[in-house]
Structure 1
Amino acid sequence: MPLRSTSTEDSARARLDLVIVTGASGGGRSTVAKALENVGYYVVDNLPESLMLPMAELAFESGDATRRTAMVLDVRSHAFTADLAGAVAELKARGFRPRVVFVDAEDDVLVRRYEKVRRAHPLQGEGRILDGISAERKLLAAAREAADALIDTSHLNENQLRARVEELFAPADARKIRITTLSFGFKYGIPLDADFVVDVRFLPNPYWIPELRDFTGTDGPVSDYVLGQPGAREFIDDYATLIGHTAPGFEREGKRYVTIAVGCTGGKHRSVAIAEALASTLREEGLSAYPHHRDKGLE
């Protein structure tokens, strides 16, 4: 067990922007790694937990060149032990403040991705792809539970995933909570990475108005229609107040990412308009908030 560092060293190490990426095989870790490189991270791929602390120390000693470092852990590594919590605890004991990102997708999506590339899952052995996915989920359960950010890639293509990561990890105050208002359609499933789920199907659906049907919630006519409905603005203001009250508690508990999933039937009109307006209202209240639209282009 490494010796505890001094308070001065702790303060210096805490300023190292350190990100740890893990998650389901086929979930999109390699795309996340490339996206982190795009926003200035020095990325170390396929790193076993036992080398995380030495790598963090090396990055710290290297100065500005590795001031933003990301480590990608892969279950396929022969040195993978599934003790991510212990490795993170060691890092914190030395004064580092790592952020853990878990990349995941629904089982059926992972199966389709493996079938598409005609590859076996690294843990399936003589069984089926689904057997490998199940075995991996058991190995990674603790890491998923402890992650600071969970990114659900089930409904994202590579470009959308890259944009999502770049949005989350663009240079900013790492101590400040970042809020994503994520619009979605209930017909496509509730996002896995939602911390809050908001249902805006109580508002009239612009889909049934012919002149609005082909627009989306980011277009003025639809946005004006949705936000002009009785109760819409009050709903946004009340929910922003709720998040404003809970955000300081999340920050005290070390949670740095919060996803508010805003859902309507298809994820094209009402949820998009409300997600945009909610993010804007949260920013007006001094919070770091960004809208993201999962299903906007599906209809």
Structure 2
Amino acid sequence: MNSADEGELDLVIVTGISGGGRSTVARALENVGYYVVDNLPESLVAQAAELAAAGGSETRRTAMVLDVRARAFMTDLVGVIEDLRKAGFKPHLVFVDADDDVIIRRFEKVRRAHPLQGDGLLGDGIAAERRLLEPARNSADTLFDTTHLNENQLRDRVEKAFLAPSTPGLQFTCMSFGFKYGIPRDADYVADVRFLPNPYWVPSLREHTGTDEAVSDYVLDQDGAEAFVEAYASLLLGTTEGFEREGKRYMTIAIGCTGGKHRSVAITEELARRLGDAGFPANTHHRDRGNE
């Protein structure tokens, strides 16, 4: 066949920095029903897509994992993606990344050399891979930053994002975080709720988190909280039709406060609830809730 009809083939292409967590992403995709092809050369992507489309129900959800172990890797993955779209497919490019220091610790832990390291240093291999993958990262539909995630947390995020929804359409992950620990690099939107009073300074609330009713009530009762959630939910809902038309299926919304324990958690939970009430699947992830 020369094209894939809408809904016939759910095609995910996974790539990213070595040590970032590609294998975990692949296993998570298998867990939610994808047929996963690992270590696929770029030159075979189009052919594999055609075979998957012709394979019927067993390969209707297919994921292909590409990395630097394949020869002639990443000469033009962005071009390959565009060719797939011209042929009628709707590939979803997933990029897995992490900070360099985290990648270095992971390689040192397993005592492996980087695939592009050669006779140089580990950092040299990582830098070379980043240069090679920059076009793919910039073109990714979904970015998973695993800097602050362990294997179980990453698997949970992937499974929630790619679990076949009961209704088609855009799906949201609403993430709370603390600015003191850095802005999530995999967020599509970032909002700052540090304009709200901090429950940390209320002794009876300090040791609790935004998922506790007392903290949530305190945050949501503050002047400006209701107006913010209502306006932000309205803004997000106003973009869904356009993003769906452009083929985007997953959105990560990051809400930040100072430490990621109180205000951002409460607002994130409320925002996810409102998106869900509007008919869009929305799960929550609290990146820094346990850091304080």
Q: TM-score range by the shorter chain?
A: over 0.9
SS at match of 2:205: helix
Displacement of 1:174: 9.0
Correspondence list, 1:14-53, <5 A: 14-53=7-46
State whether residues 17 and 174 of structure 1, in contact with CA within 8 Å, keep that contact through their aligned partners in structure 2. Answer: no
Residue 225, structure 1, aligned to residue 251, structure 2: no
In the alignment, structure 1 residue 267 sits paired with structure 2 residue 260: yes
Are residues 1:157 and 2:150 paired?
yes
Q: Are 2:177 and 2:288, in contact at CA under 8 Å, matched by a contact in 1?
A: yes
Structure 2 residue 66 is the aligned partner of structure 1 residue 73: yes
Counterpart Cα distance in 1 of 2:154 and 2:74: 27
1:294 aligns with 2:287: yes
Task: Note the C-alpha offset of 1:252.
Answer: 2.5
1:179 corresponds, among 169, 172, 176, to: 172
Task: Name which of 6, 11, 16 aligns with 2:5.
Answer: 11
TM-aligned CA deviation for residue 140 of structure 1: 0.6
CA distance, structure 1, for counterparts of residue 47 and residue 285 of structure 2: 36
Tell me the TM-score normalized by structure 2: 0.94
Which of 194, 207, 227 is the matching residue for 1:201?
194
Does residue 128 in structure 1 map to residue 111 in structure 2? no
Q: CA deviation at 1:190?
A: 0.5
Number of equivalences: 292
CA deviation after TM superposition for structure 1 residue 249, in Å: 2.2
CA shift for structure 1 position 73: 0.4
- The yes-or-no answer on 1:84 pairing with 2:77 is yes
Counterpart contact for 1:186–1:265, Cα < 8 Å: yes
What letter corresponds to residue 11 of structure 1 in structure 2?
D
Q: Distance in 1 between matches of 2:140 and 2:219?
A: 35
Q: Is the 8 A contact 2:8 2:53 kept in 1?
A: no
Write out the 4+ residue segments of structure 1 that deviate beyond 3 Å after TM superposition.
Answer: none
User: What's the offset of the Cα at 1:233?
Assistant: 1.0
Residue identity in the other structure for 1:104 = D
Shift in CA distance, 174/282, structure 1 to aligned 2, threshold 3 Å:
closer
Work out whether 1:282 is the aligned partner of 2:275: yes
Please report the TM-score for the alignment, with normalisation by the length of structure 1. Answer: 0.92
Alpha-carbon distance in structure 1 between the residues aligned to 2:11 and 2:143: 16
Distance apart, 1:280 and its partner CA: 1.0
Q: 3-state SS of the aligned residue for 1:212? A: coil
Distance, in Å, in 1 between the alignment partners of 2:163 and 2:53 is 20
Which residue of the other structure, out of 236, 251, 268, is the alignment partner of 2:229? Answer: 236
2:133 pairs with 134, 137, 140, which one? 140
Separation (CA, whole Å) in 2 of partners of 1:196 and 1:98: 22
